[in-house]
A and B are shown apart, each in its own frame.
Chain A
Amino acid sequence: MTELLQQLINGLSLGAIYALLALGYTMVYGVLRFINFAHADIFMVGSFIGYYLGGHVPQATLWGGMVVLLATMLGGALLGVLIERFAYRPLRGGPTLNVLITAIGVSLLLENGGQLVFGATPRTFPQLFPFERFQFGRLVVSSNQLTVIGVAALLIAALQLVIFKTRMGMAMRAVSLNPKAAQLVGVNINTVISFTFALGSALAAAGGILYSMNYPSIDPLMGVMPGLKAFTAAILGGIGNIPGAALGGLILGGAETLVGGSRHLSTYKDAIAFGILIVILLFRPAGLLGRRMVEKV
């Protein structure tokens, strides 16, 4: 029982990170209808920004951690906007497959450029926030896990606020519903898309820092697997649906730690996310919270 609870807590902190990443995927998919493969690499770059900045602030202090986190989110947002401006915007309106391949190209560029700039050997991520270990009976919770869950929850709440309470959020929703109609009523699509990329990439960069706090070995290819699983989470929850992405992330994080912690199935840890995805898509093709679109001829 304790073990199950322990795994659930671990799963929650992993799931929170998947949720952060999944939000970026789902937002970009909502406005542009393509899989932004480079998203996972912004996650990686975020982690490396945190690694370098972490050396310049006092370690294991609350304000140092916050400064690094905010600066990293800013850096991630900038990178996301630049990628959209120079790689995706020229192809807008063309076949989605081309944008997809470009996204794959950007992803490969960031990964291989990262190996060139940062080196391929894994680095140890510094301890940004104060570290403590809390013991409840046989249950162990680290402050890192709590920070991850807390920061992720805060960011998701803030995102929800931006999307549903601001003018920019309304414009985002309008573009994702119908870009042409949004343009007709005076929404500047380019601004909205840049803003969407900035938001999503900031969340991914934050996710990179949070992930590295719990798994403190970082390398330029670290984003690939979490990225795939987070996208799976976004589809699981219903692509384009923000609460769905968060829910999908939590489900996948939980399932993965449960399977990884079990005795016989632990080697299948990487397959479970896709297994769940396939089952869900077969029975609910629009995802858990997604609405089914009717095809009109």
Chain B
Amino acid sequence: MPDSPRQNSTPSSPASKPSALDSQLSALSGRLRLPPRQHLALVAGILGAVVVSLFSGSLDAYFLDVALGVGINIILAVSLNLVNGHTGQFSLGHAGFMSVGAYLSAACTVFLGPRLLGHGDPGALAQNLLFLGALLAGGLCAALAGVLVGIPSLRLKGDYLALVTLGFGEIIRVIFQNIDALGGALGFNGVPAYTTFGWTYTWVALTIFTVGCLVNSTYGRGFLATHDDEVAAESVGLNTTRYKITAFTVGAFFAGVAGGLFAHLKLSIDPRGFDFMRSIEIVVMVILGGMGNTLGVILAAVLLTLLPEVLRPVAEYRMVIYSFLLIVLMLARPQGLLNFRFGKNRI
């Protein structure tokens, strides 16, 4: 797993003076013109993913499958965290955007792929380029769906917004069930197996990087302001609607990419796999990790993906244990399982 190019979201306490080492480091980076730390982390993350991917042939197939599932869930959880955690808009439609990306990118590789690549062995480069294009197309379509859903529904708040996004997610699912060209209710089969470790974790790194940079930029303070107090944010001249729609669109884009990765991992997608229970799963990751806490959300995504796998020996009871743990965790640690910032409001 690559280093997460996450930013240090807890500012160091104002009392601590810049140490000598710090000033030396800054002088050094000034002379060498090192790119900012998070960019380095991004590059390191992508490089790590690609290097591991080169050796993925020697990895256990089951392990690889679980690791890719973990990666996809991290993308979903971190992107939803931008909407639910940082911006404070409770969305229950993430699986809907995921399905848009999954279907669109699968359609690209299945229908356009043979035309663009020809029927022989296309070679790794062409195949990967096609996959990248398909993922981007899926993500962009999901983002478009995000704008279309966001503009009307973001006028609503709280539970109403949750329900409308849930409704949109279900409507998207029913629409896919009715498109016969995409398999209809039977599901869309024969998707090529393009998802690799490298692609998945490259996107994981990109997602964490984008969300991190967006939220920690000057512009991004608007997301947090919208979360903390919408009226106050508007009264100082922030266009909260625009922030909400931006968060929604970026979140939907990465959900779409995750959907594309998912489709090319499972090789067959079914509209029922993107129902509201899937959205809930992602929301649970965000809340368990501590809303707005990127590291916590990543860990929660890893834990909650591994938990059912660990419980596989007791397969009969595994969902019962999972749901029971969920209740106990919420009762025991209401601030989020992995949120350790006590006593201080999250930013």
- A residues sitting closer than 8 Å to B (CB atoms) are 29, 33-35, 87, 90-91, 94-95, 97-98, 101-102, 104-109, 111-113, 115-116, 228, 231-232, 235, 239, 267-268, 270-271, 273-275, 277-278, 281-282, 285, 295, 297
Q: With contacts A97-B291, A98-B330 known, is A285 near B323, CB below 8 A?
A: no
B54 CB-CB contact with A under 8 Å: no
Docked-complex contact B327 and A105, CB < 8 angstroms: yes
Q: How far is the CB of B159 from the nearest CB of chain A, in Å?
A: 6
**Distance of A82 Cα from B284 Cα, bound (Å):** 23
The 7 tightest CB contacts between A and B, nearest first, are A274-B167, A108-B323, A105-B326, A112-B319, A271-B174, A105-B327, A109-B323
Docked-complex contact B334 and A104, CB < 8 angstroms: no
User: Which label, helix, strand, loop or mixed, suits the secondary structure of the A interface?
Assistant: helix
Supply 20 A–B pairs (Cβ within 8 Å), ascending by A: A90-B331, A97-B291, A101-B283, A105-B324, A108-B319, A108-B326, A109-B324, A112-B323, A113-B320, A116-B316, A116-B317, A116-B320, A228-B276, A232-B167, A235-B160, A235-B163, A271-B170, A275-B171, A278-B171, A297-B232
Residues of A within 8 A of B153 (CB): 278, 281-282
Residues of B within 8 A of A98 (CB): 287, 330, 334
- B residues sitting closer than 8 Å to A (CB atoms) are 90, 152-153, 155-156, 159-160, 162-164, 166-168, 170-171, 174-175, 177-178, 231-232, 276, 280, 283-284, 287-288, 291, 316-317, 319-320, 322-324, 326-327, 330-331, 334
**Distance of A87 Cα from B160 Cα, bound (Å):** 23
Residues of A within 8 A of B160 (CB): 235, 281, 285
Most central of A29, A34, A278, A282 by chain B CB within 10 Å: A278
Q: How far is the CB of A117 from the nearest CB of chain B, in Å?
A: 10
**Distance of A277 Cα from B327 Cα, bound (Å):** 30
Q: With contacts A98-B330, A274-B171 known, is A231 near B231, CB below 8 A?
A: no
**Distance of A239 Cα from B174 Cα, bound (Å):** 26
Q: With contacts A108-B326, A235-B163, A285-B155 known, is A295 near B284, CB below 8 A?
A: no
**Distance of A282 Cα from B276 Cα, bound (Å):** 21
Q: How far is the CB of B200 from the nearest CB of chain A, in Å?
A: 27
- CB within 8 Å: A-B pair count: 109
Docked-complex contact B334 and A91, CB < 8 angstroms: yes
Q: Which of B156, B177, B322, B330 contacts A101 (CB 8 A)?
A: B330
Residues of A within 8 A of B324 (CB): 105, 109
Docked-complex contact B159 and A35, CB < 8 angstroms: yes
**Distance of A231 Cα from B163 Cα, bound (Å):** 9
User: Which label, helix, strand, loop or mixed, suits the secondary structure of the B interface?
Assistant: helix
Closest to A271 in B: B174
Docked-complex contact A102 and B287, CB < 8 angstroms: no
Q: How far is the CB of B150 from the nearest CB of chain A, in Å?
A: 13
Residues of B within 8 A of A108 (CB): 319, 322-323, 326
Docked-complex contact B334 and A297, CB < 8 angstroms: no
Docked-complex contact A106 and B327, CB < 8 angstroms: yes
Q: How far is the CB of B172 from the nearest CB of chain A, in Å?
A: 9
Docked-complex contact A278 and B152, CB < 8 angstroms: yes
Q: Which of A94, A104, A267, A277 contacts B280 (CB 8 A)?
A: A104
Q: How far is the CB of A29 from the nearest CB of chain B, in Å?
A: 8
Q: Which of B159, B174, B322, B331 contacts A267 (CB 8 A)?
A: B174
Docked-complex contact B284 and A104, CB < 8 angstroms: yes
Residues of A within 8 A of B177 (CB): 267
Residues of A within 8 A of B152 (CB): 278, 282
**Distance of A116 Cα from B314 Cα, bound (Å):** 12
Q: With contacts A102-B327, A106-B327, A278-B153 known, is A270 near B334, CB below 8 A?
A: no
**Distance of A292 Cα from B280 Cα, bound (Å):** 29
Residues of A within 8 A of B334 (CB): 91, 94-95, 98
Residues of B within 8 A of A116 (CB): 316-317, 320
Docked-complex contact B287 and A101, CB < 8 angstroms: yes
Q: How far is the CB of B184 from the nearest CB of chain A, in Å?
A: 9
**Distance of A247 Cα from B278 Cα, bound (Å):** 30
Residues of A within 8 A of B276 (CB): 228
Q: How far is the CB of B330 from the nearest CB of chain A, in Å?
A: 5
Docked-complex contact A112 and B284, CB < 8 angstroms: no
Docked-complex contact A281 and B156, CB < 8 angstroms: yes
Q: How far is the CB of A188 from the nearest CB of chain B, in Å?
A: 23
Residues of B within 8 A of A297 (CB): 231-232
Docked-complex contact A91 and B331, CB < 8 angstroms: yes
**Distance of A94 Cα from B287 Cα, bound (Å):** 13
Residues of B within 8 A of A29 (CB): 159
Docked-complex contact B330 and A109, CB < 8 angstroms: no
Closest to A286 in B: B160
Docked-complex contact B317 and A277, CB < 8 angstroms: no
Docked-complex contact A268 and B178, CB < 8 angstroms: yes
Q: With contacts A116-B317, A116-B320, A282-B155 known, is A109 near B327, CB below 8 A?
A: yes
Q: Which of A101, A105, A270, A277 contacts B163 (CB 8 A)?
A: A277
Residues of A within 8 A of B175 (CB): 271
Q: How far is the CB of B97 from the nearest CB of chain A, in Å?
A: 16
Docked-complex contact A97 and B174, CB < 8 angstroms: no
Q: How far is the CB of A84 from the nearest CB of chain B, in Å?
A: 13
**Distance of A44 Cα from B177 Cα, bound (Å):** 26
